[in-house]
Amino acid sequence: MDLKKLRNGDTKWRIVVLGGPNLGPQMQQIGNLEDLLQGWAADLGIEVEHFRSNHEGKLLEFVHEARERADAFLVNPGGLVRVGESLRHTLKDSKKPCAEIHMDNAELNKKSIFSDSVLSIFSGFGPSTYLGALTALTLALDEPSFLHPQGDSPYNRAHGAPRSLYQ
């Protein structure tokens, strides 16, 4: 599948995909997520860096370490969906666009604390949720009137922290 044909540009964006605690059983349905992510990244002409941990502190350290090289973040907070304030603040403080992803709508169970700090939520499409989120975020980064780093949109991170879903 040549997803590059969808793009407005050819910048090799780096999107960091984070997975929080208790995602093990869910990830088993997918198979090798790392292989899927790398294949989709190649099809889109981007780079993907994937990190998953059952420990919030390790996720925080990784975000701090990765924020300079990342253009955006996709986060499946897993078990942190209602209690991961530290991770939510760290992602917001990175001043990079961030989207929340869930393979199943039941994971959201009415409320996610991340929703106030992310640009979008992708949910309910099983493993395809990751592909949809990667594609949408890539296209948004390509767009000068939306998330492109040199763009002029109020959503653009060049003006500080990107606006959230509810601003």
Mean pLDDT of the chain: 87
Please give the share of the chain, as a percent, with pLDDT higher than 90.
56
pLDDT of amino acid 90 = 94
Helix crossing, 33-44 with 128-142: angle to 10°? 30
Read off the pLDDT of each residue in 55-73 and give the average, rounded to a whole number.
96
Confidence (pLDDT) at 156: 62
In a domain, residue 4? The reply is no
Residue whose tokens read 């780093």: 149
5 occurs within a structural domain = no
142 domain-assigned: yes
Tell me whether residue 165 is in a domain. no
Residue 147 lies in a domain: yes
Work out the number of other CB atoms within 10 angstroms of the CB of residue 122: 23
Total length of the chain:
167
The total of structural domains in the chain comes to 1
- Tell me whether residue 167 is in a domain: no
Asked if residue 157 has pLDDT above 80, the reply is no
| Tens-digit pLDDT profile for residues 8-44 | 899 999 999 999 998 876 777 777 888 999 999 999 9
Mean pLDDT, residues 45-64? 96
Give the CATH number for residue 49. Answer: 3.40.50.9100
14 lies in a domain?
yes
pTM: 0.90
Q: What was the pLDDT predicted at 160? A: 52
**Segments forming the whole domain that contains residue 76:** 10-159
> What torsion, rounded to 10 degrees, do the Cα atoms 69, 34, 7, 102 define?
-90
Would residue 113 count as lying in a domain?
yes
Look at 79 and 47; give whichever has higher pLDDT. 47
